[in-house]
Amino acid sequence: MRRSHREVAQGVMRSLETYLQAFGPEALGWYMDDEGDPQELDEAGWTYIRTRMQQSGPLITLSDNPREAGPYQFEYFGKNHETPFFINNPHAVCALEFWLPTEFLEERGPARVRELALALAAPLPFNSGHVSLSLNALHQLAGVSDELRQLRRRYPGLDVHGLEHLSWHIGTRIRGPHWLTFLGPPVLGELGGVPGLRSRLTSPDISVQPLDAERALVILGEWPDAGDTAQGHTLPLHRELARVLEPWLYHEPPLRDPVAAEDTLRWERRFLD
């Protein structure tokens, strides 16, 4: 959301309440304090979180287990429009992320996940967003990054999260096609709105759902799909949407390491080349 934190804070809290209604308050039992240490999310903890949300540009992480990549997590990275760093960085945005376990998808079905995603997005003046199968991990642990790179090469439909970094660079661009891709201003308008977007998509398995005058949801098939390049399953629906969105797709800033830069570019263009 290319908005100041004070403009979106209420909507973020409403989305968080929707998430807790879906999974229960026990899904998020811990938070990170100002020193980066885990604290129990009891009544005093919630008072602390609500106070943080009233401040300028808060960074908030809530999880079910602070020492591992568990099934539930909420992250929010707020930005203050009035700070010089934000004013001089047109790509900085407020961003939030919710995790849910694949068991929820398997037990409740994709329609329930879509319903929840729409409810989470409803209070937010988003420019873009997505729902995807994801590789969630503690990136700071030795060997994790290498393993993630290998997995994402084989399974192109798996997302790899890194929201804090992304929130400083994505602006109003789109972070690739996903099972559910939320489009807002300015991209949807530049595509000609919902009619213009629909006219560019030909597969009967891709649907476009209008949300309001400026926002829409693109759905790639009934279920999310990880793909598998080893089996030749390269996700044709994702490739079709990628071609439509190519002029607006997000690309990582230049990396100093040429090997890492090449790997990143290959990942970003996995549905285009």
Q: Which of 73, 72, 71, 70 is nearest to 60 (CA)?
A: 73
Helices (H), the chain: 5-23, 43-53, 84-87, 102-108, 110-121, 144-154, 163-167, 187-190, 193-200, 236-245, 258-268
* Amino acid 193: pLDDT: 98
CA 251/CA 150 separation, integer angstroms: 20
Contact call for residues 132 and 181 (beta carbons, < 8 A): no
Domain ranges of the chain: 1-125, 126-272
Q: What's the predicted TM-score (pTM) here?
A: 0.94
* Amino acid 145: pLDDT: 75
* Amino acid 140: pLDDT: 62
* Amino acid 255: pLDDT: 77
CA 121/CA 25 separation, integer angstroms: 20
Instruction: Going residue by residue through the chain, which has 273 residues, state the pLDDT in tens, using 9 for 90 and above.
Output: 999 999 999 999 999 999 999 999 999 999 999 888 999 999 999 999 999 999 888 999 999 988 777 899 999 999 987 888 777 888 999 999 999 999 999 999 999 999 999 999 999 999 999 999 998 876 666 667 778 788 888 999 999 878 999 999 999 999 999 999 999 999 999 999 999 999 999 999 999 999 999 999 999 999 999 999 999 999 999 999 999 999 999 999 887 788 888 888 899 999 999
CA 29/CA 72 separation, integer angstroms: 10
* Amino acid 136: pLDDT: 80
Evaluate the CA torsion angle 37, 38, 42, 43 in order and state its sign. Answer: positive
CA 206/CA 212 separation, integer angstroms: 19
* Amino acid 139: pLDDT: 61
Tokens of 176: 């690739």
